[in-house]
Amino acid sequence: MVAIIDYDAGNIRSVEKAMAALGEEAVVTRDEKAILSADHVILPGVGAFGDAMGKLHKYHLKGIIEETVAQGTPFLGICLGLQLLFEGSEESDGVEGLGILQGKIVRLPEDQGLKIPHIGWNSLRYPNAGRLFEGVQEDSYVYFVHSYYLQAKDSGIVTATTEYASLIHASVEKENVFACQFHPEKSSDVGMRILKNFLGIHRL
């Protein structure tokens, strides 16, 4: 069973639909027992970093997420869900993120003549091998919607990058924690393969 964490963020239903398309039982929940007993856990989301962290605290989800990761459950952050896993964001000064991974979330530069937010399809490069991308050719296209991006402190956890006004750390992997800045659930066959790869990863 897959637990999709419900913290009143957008984009949750599209992830639920993607799980159904893959034949996977999924529950949208903020229930502690359901999350901790799940085989896989997904933290999706679109919206503002500070608001999202406020809701994670409101629903007492921060500790549940930390416990889920600590017990080795495969955990996937998507879009805002990736950003929340890190220490903080320029979008919300003074708001601490989950701090499960180290790095900073910064605004896409506006001096490159490119539209912000970045909305559209970009190709991926793989600086390090990542289990999410097994069977997914390099230069495959995935769908992005974001104004802020990750600069991971440890380049060794970066499994995919793309270029848009800057070098974007588009996906990371560390032990049982995975995250994508792009939306695999909106990335056609490539995205479904990425999600299927995630579902094939077992608890540590």
Q: Classify residue 75: in a domain, yes or no.
A: yes
Residue tagged active-site, from 16, 91, 173, 185: 185
Q: What is the mean pLDDT of residues 131-138?
A: 98
**Cβ-Cβ contacts under 8 Å for 176 (sequence gap 6 or more):** 69, 72, 73, 74, 75, 201, 203, 204
CATH code, domain carrying 45: 3.40.50.880
Confidence of residue 25 (pLDDT cuts 50, 70, 90): very high
Q: Quick check: 28 and 42 in contact, CB under 8 A?
A: no
Answer yes or no: is pLDDT of 113 > 90: no
183 is catalytic: yes
From 16, 40, 79, 173, the catalytic residue: 79
- Say what the pLDDT of residue 112 is: 79
The pTM of the full predicted model, rounded to 2 decimals, is 0.97
Residue pLDDT, tens place only, 139-162: 999 999 999 999 999 999 999 999
Average pLDDT rounded to a whole number, residues 172-194: 98
In this structure, is residue 100 part of a structural domain? yes
The residue range of the domain holding 77 is 2-199
Closest CA to 171 of 190, 114, 31, 91: 190
Q: Flag whether 204 is in a domain.
A: no
